[in-house]
A and B are shown apart, each in its own frame.
Chain A
């Protein structure tokens, strides 16, 4: 597909209109997951495990069921037992059986907060009382929280049948290592022998939560005819439908899921927790059931992403050419297999043009909540390690950190360790822009330092459906199947308006429910503006073709005599002045007499998502007395392909950076000796607040993706990849101390400074 036009030729793409759903969202009218109420609706709540690991001896729900006002009680016994089966429904690996057991514990609880029962009652207070009346007898088991402890021989086993995949021959005994993955190019040992400098370092990261501000919420209603409806906040209504159908043993056609507005997800809403329970409670009670998590439940039972140990070894010549690079990544998966270690392995060295690479990853279960996707899943952890090590390499060699990266940067023709040969990528462009940026040369004061780090993310395409309908007055409706998590309605409307040649204000974009629009893979992987946008463009182009045919009928000319320009049928260049421009509204008005309504649909599996690269510059000031790190200045340079709505592209970059800074400096899960989470709230799990951050300058480099009609590549995920190393490298520049363990919170920084000076 050819890329349409070049910068400056667009009328709508690249402008900054007010988003079409904006007024609803600034006036409080937008309806999020918890905002819907139905007549006769019950309140559903979940009973959760107080143990990190225990066998469920018995669950007695009779007293709860007998409480006046309680209308339904469910446990695992109320759900079909599901065979192990890989699911390709959400983002990242998932097994239907594991998901079922994660939604409702079966036989064992595997983490504190694991659901063991759920109730529906006529009020919140009665539901709470009913939870207290459910009697669960547990036999506590030894637990394991940290990744290397879980890998050690003799560690408490979470699953008796878990045999490590990816090892040949397969182990004969179970362990907590679900999978080993390995990628290599060339001969890494030969690469190290050719090196004049070899660095070998170990880095650790803590689990961090996506920390969307909206807790999970849904309403489910099952009818006596077997027809079910769900209204919920998620990253994909089709994902919710598929999981609920499987977990409850229902045909997909019996479930209709309507997406509510979604109050943030970042990957954490790409699977289900409450919806199957609410549906089961509704089926049992015959009434609609609403379930909303508390923040504490969100922390104890959903997300986060993995904590990890990453060992990196990099060898280079004196002049900075990397001769060999190796990494071993050990990622916590939480209670069930499925950490993002594989994308972590693939992303670790993806930015570099290397002859000799070896990357090995381990997916390790432990007694924590099952991890969920979090923005560029796996890559930030790997890049924290690799980009920290590269910074040290640059210092060891006396090279500028950008120069070292330029010397080794992936470019068109580079083969990545996992197979692809890069084409039309913009990594070098981000390095060049970083070097030229005024930030890079700005003076620094005492206790201040500057860090550089880069990042990569794959971006995906996938299945999307979009429809474009022309209204009687020449305005248009665009329907797509992807929840709008950060402004995608605006970009869908803009791309349709660009193709139709009408002002964006004349296009109304909506997000359809699962019964009103064709299948669309979820909102994730930085795919929506690329893939769903491609479907919108194709549908709009088909509409334009139809408009030209209708115009030909009205004007009594051949369709070849017509071109579409600025929202009107005009004579082709070969025949100028043949007729006066016939605007869309005039064609729409006569649609009934020229063949009926004018609409088109595109159902596609979009290929060719261009990978994203970014380079970040970060200045910090470290308080030598307290260890507190203040972010003074931050510049994020990213190849965005082409920005449809630049403000929302900048917003993605700024938001990703802020999350990365939180990951770098403050955020972590803290467990007690019993495996219980000690900080399940925003007071003690500290995400960045406005006073923690400076303005974040987003610099958009545009290397158009030739596989998208406007050159779009995904932008949402790569911004969270570089910040942890950028901050660590800046702290090193400010203090001379290398922090290899996240988060770099004041006590850790102070201890490191103290160790270095005594």
Chain B
């Protein structure tokens, strides 16, 4: 079985990789590109640990085939910080202690960024519904939501 050649953009960099037909984007990120920040929690799109942004849209990378990445623009957790400068959601997750084990954290951060990219003034309810696709079993979401609201305020310059 021959592999597919895929040209795509990941975190602003042009990237090429080879993948098998059945491999998901998550498989390609983790196994072919060693971008292991995206996590596999369920492989069925229910937990959000593998969240990435594809052409501005939040998706579960376990539900997208790797070959579908051709020509797309993909953002992963590894691209969220600019060098040593953390994105406001990362900074506020740390300050608010919004992570315990940290496994769901990359997915939550990518999802939160996707929210704030389109809506820098979410209500608490909007934030809760937007993040409803990202399971966290440790925190009870309290500090996660507070961190997202704090990050939104910083992005708005408040």
The chain A residues found within 8 Å of chain B, CB to CB, are: 16, 18-19, 21-23, 25-32, 34-35, 37, 125, 210-215, 261-266, 292, 294-295, 485-487, 645, 647-648, 650-652, 654-659, 681-683, 687-693, 695-696
> Quick check: B104 and A16 within 8 Å, CB to CB?
no
Tell me, in angstroms, the Cα distance from A25 to B36 when the chains sit together: 12
- Chain A residues within an 8 Å CB radius of B120: none
Nearest-CB residue, chain B, relative to A212? B137
- Chain A CB within 8 A of B67 CB: no
Task: Kindly list chain B residues whose C-beta atoms are within 8 Å of the C-beta of A485.
Answer: 100-101
Q: For the complex formed, measure the closest distance between the CB of A497 and the CB atoms of chain B, giving whole angstroms.
A: 17
Knowing that A295-B42, A658-B139, A659-B137 touch, tell me 18 more A-B residue pairs with CB under 8 angstroms.
A19-B97, A27-B86, A28-B80, A34-B39, A35-B36, A213-B104, A215-B41, A263-B41, A263-B101, A658-B141, A682-B41, A682-B44, A682-B135, A689-B134, A689-B135, A691-B128, A691-B129, A691-B131
Annotate B1-43 by CB proximity to A: 1 below 8 A, 0 otherwise: 0000000000000000000101000000011001111111111
Docked pose: A30 CA to B99 CA in angstroms: 13
Alpha-carbon gap, A210 to B137, bound state (A): 8
How near does chain B come to A685, taking the closest CB pair, in angstroms? Answer: 9
Question: For the complex, what is the distance from the CA of A170 to the CA of B143, rounded to whole Å?
Answer: 53
Nearest CB in chain B: distance from A538 CB, A? 26
- Expressed in whole angstroms, the Cα–Cα distance for A25 and B139 within the complex equals 15
Whether B140 and A26, one on each chain, are in contact in the complex, defined by CB atoms closer than 8 angstroms, is: no
Q: Which of B38, B99, B129 has the most CB of A within 10 A?
A: B99
Q: Of residues 75 to 130 in B, which have CB atoms within 8 Å of A's CB atoms?
A: 76-78, 80-81, 86, 90, 93-97, 99-106, 109, 125, 127-129
A-B contact pairs, 23 of them (CB 8 A): A18-B94, A26-B81, A26-B86, A26-B105, A32-B103, A213-B41, A213-B47, A213-B104, A264-B100, A265-B101, A295-B44, A647-B143, A650-B142, A654-B143, A659-B137, A659-B140, A682-B41, A682-B46, A687-B135, A689-B132, A689-B134, A690-B136, A690-B144
Taking CB atoms, residues of chain B closer than 8 Å to A695 are 142, 145-146
**A26 in contact with B99 given A681-B44, A682-B135 (CB within 8 Å):** yes
A19 touches B94 (CB 8 A): yes
- Cβ contact within 8 Å between A264 and B101: yes
A482 → B minimal CB distance (Å): 14
Contacting residue for B90 out of A27, A487, A651, CB 8 A: A27
Check if B49 is an interface residue, CB within 8 A of chain A. Answer: yes
Contacts of B94 in A (CB 8 A): 18-19, 22-23, 26
Chain B positions within 8 Å of A294 at CB level: 43
Chain B residues with CB under 8 Å of A691's CB are 125, 128-129, 131-132
Alpha-carbon gap, A363 to B109, bound state (A): 43
Q: Could you tell me the distance between the alpha carbons of A263 and B138 in the complex, rounded to whole angstroms? A: 9
Residues of B with C-beta under 8 A to A261: 101-103
Give A661's nearest chain B residue, CB to CB. B140
Asked if A26 contacts B137 (CB within 8 A), the reply is no
Taken together as a complex, chains A and B put the C-alpha atoms of A286 and B40 apart, in Å, by 27
For the complex, what is the distance from the CA of A650 to the CA of B127, rounded to whole Å? Answer: 21
Cα-based distance from A714 to B101 in the complex (angstroms): 17
Partner of B142, one of A26, A648, A696: A696
**Are A651 and B139 in contact, with the CB atoms below 8 A?**
yes
- Residues of chain A within 8 A (CB-CB) of B143 are 647, 650-651, 654
Residues of chain B contacted by A125 (CB below 8 angstroms): 20, 22
The residues of B with any CB-CB pair to A shorter than 8 Å are: 20, 22, 30-31, 34-44, 46-47, 49, 76-78, 80-81, 86, 90, 93-97, 99-106, 109, 125, 127-129, 131-146
Question: Closest chain B residue to A292 by CB distance?
Answer: B40
Q: Which residues of B contact A16 (CB under 8 A)?
A: 97
Across the interface, B38 reaches (CB within 8 A) one of A28, A31, A211, A696, namely A28
Give the CA-CA distance A575 to B92 in the complex, in Å: 47
Q: How far is the CB of A135 from chain B (nearest CB, A)?
A: 25
Q: How far is the CA of A412 from the CA of B40 in the complex (A)?
A: 48
Cβ-closest chain A residue relative to B106: A28
A32 and B39 in contact, given A26-B90, A213-B47, A648-B100 (Cβ under 8 angstroms): yes
User: A-B pairs with the 4 shortest C-beta distances?
Assistant: A28-B37, A263-B103, A658-B140, A25-B102
How long is the Cα–Cα vector from A28 to B30 in the complex, in angstroms? 11
CA distance A591 to B145 in the complex (A): 48
Q: In the bound complex, how far is the Cα of B20 from the Cα of A692, in angstroms?
A: 38
Contact indicator B104/A295 (Cβ below 8 Å): no
Q: When chains A and B are docked, how far (Å) is the Cα of A292 from the Cα of B31?
A: 13
Pair A683/B145 contact, Cβ less than 8 Å: no
Contacts of A265 in B (CB 8 A): 101
Partner of A214, one of B36, B39, B90: B39
Chain B neighbourhood of A659, CB < 8 A:
137, 140
Is A647 in contact with B97, judged by CB distance below 8 angstroms? Answer: yes
Q: Is the CB of A683 within 8 A of B44?
A: yes
Q: Are B40 and A487 in contact (CB under 8 A)?
A: no
Looking at the complex, which one of B47, B96, B109, B144 makes contact with A647 (CB distance below 8 Å)? B96
- Expressed in whole angstroms, the Cα–Cα distance for A683 and B48 within the complex equals 12
Specify the chain B residue showing the minimal Cβ separation from A636: B140
CB-CB under 8 A from A656, the residues of chain B are: 140
The distance from the CB of B116 to the nearest CB of chain A, in whole angstroms, is 15
Q: Which residues of B have CB within 8 Å of A266?
A: 137
Given A26-B109, A486-B138, A695-B145, A651-B46 contact (CB < 8 Å): no
Contact in complex: B36, A31 (CB < 8 Å): yes
With a cutoff of 8 Å between Cβ atoms, the chain B residues found around residue A295 in the complex are 41-44, 46-47
The smallest beta-carbon distance between B83 and chain A, in angstroms, is: 11
With a cutoff of 8 Å between Cβ atoms, the chain A residues found around residue B146 in the complex are 695
State A214–B40 Cα separation when bound (angstroms).
7
A295 CA / B102 CA spacing, docked (Å) = 18
A715 CB to closest chain B CB (Å) equals 12
> Roughly how many angstroms separate A366 CA and B129 CA in the complex, as a whole number?
39
Residues on A with beta carbons closer than 8 Å to the beta carbon of B81: 26-27
Complex CA gap A125/B3 in Å reads 13
Q: With A690-B141, A693-B141 in contact, do A29 and B37 touch (Cβ < 8 Å)?
A: yes
Which residues on B sit within 8 Å (CB–CB) of A657?
140
Contact of A212 among B20, B80, B101 (CB under 8 A): B101
Whether the Cβ atoms of B42 and A681 lie closer than 8 Å is yes
Contacts of B136 in A (CB 8 A): 213, 690
What is the minimal beta-carbon distance from B93 to any residue of chain A, in angstroms? 5
For the complex, what is the distance from the CA of A16 to the CA of B47, rounded to whole Å? 29
- Max count, chain A CB within 10 A of own CB: residue among B39, B94, B127, B138: B138
